[in-house]
Chain A
Amino acid sequence: DAGVIQSPRHEVTEMGQEVTLRCKPISGHDYLFWYRQTMMRGLELLIYFNNNVPIDDSGMPEDRFSAKMPNASFSTLKIQPSEPRDSAVYFCASRRTGWDLNTEAFFGQGTRLTVV
């Protein structure tokens, strides 16, 4: 498996524009996570899905952020409209069900978003 795949790797956009980040989890993984990383706040969990269903979106900063998982192999995180304070690295991660010796969360390479 190629691992968790995120696109794009870098995104520069103007304030007010819509931004869509994409993630392909590892095949067979039931959980998908979206994290945001900034210098000030560190690594924050935004939302996570189990079997394509959003379970906890309490970390989503505000209504400008939305996430979807239309099927087991694809998820999007959308920001509309984007603001400069949304500039961060956004990570997607996935894992399979259960916690045991063979379980770990795998992370994508991240999308570095810059809103100017």
Chain B
Amino acid sequence: AQSVTQPDIHITVSEGASLELRCNYSYGATPYLFWYVQSPGQGLQLLLKYFSGDTLVQGIKGFEAEFKRSQSSFNLRKPSVHWSDAAEYFCAAPGSNTGKLIFGQGTTLQVKP
């Protein structure tokens, strides 16, 4: 069965430090992959998505993600984290032959001053 896994439930980084959030997927064909962010008390907002082509995808708020087929990964990165990046981050992929979107468990990012 298809799945999306985010190994890290909680990550803390210092403001200005770099960030990498991990996402692994199981998918037969070339996947479509998404990263969403959820700020406290808000709904989910799309950060970026991968469909095909360039494996390095740029998103909003200075985020990027790299698709690595050999590692079944789609990790989210940011070179310098801001306090406003504190939020929960979700990786997602479409279910096989279904219309639904499968989400990972989410990673909560805390930013230290």
Assuming the contacts A99-B51, A101-B51, asked whether A108 and B101 have C-beta atoms less than 8 A apart, the reply is no
Flag the segment in B18-26, B39-47, B75-83 that touches A: B39-47
Residue picked from A43, A91, A109, A110, most chain B C-beta under 10 Å: A43
Assuming the contacts A31-B99, A43-B106, asked whether A108 and B94 have C-beta atoms less than 8 A apart, the reply is no
Contact A45 B32 (CB under 8 A): no
A-B contact count (CB 8 A): 51
Q: Which residues of B contact A56 (CB under 8 A)?
A: 98, 100
Complex: chain B residue closest to A48, CB-CB: B100
- Does more than half of chain B's interface fall in helix, strand or loop, or is it mixed? strand
Contact B45 A48 (CB under 8 A): no
Contact B90 A43 (CB under 8 A): yes
Contact A107 B51 (CB under 8 A): no
- Shortest distance in angstroms between A17's beta carbon and chain B's nearest beta carbon? 24
- Does more than half of chain A's interface fall in helix, strand or loop, or is it mixed? strand
Residue picked from B34, B49, B101, most chain A C-beta under 10 Å: B101
Q: Which of B49, B99, B103 contacts A50 (CB 8 A)?
A: B99
Q: Which residues of B contact A50 (CB under 8 A)?
A: 99
Other than the known A42-B106, A104-B34, A107-B43, what 18 A-B pairs have Cβ atoms closer than 8 Å? A31-B99, A33-B100, A33-B101, A42-B103, A45-B102, A48-B99, A48-B100, A50-B99, A91-B44, A93-B44, A95-B101, A99-B32, A99-B94, A100-B51, A104-B46, A105-B34, A107-B45, A108-B43
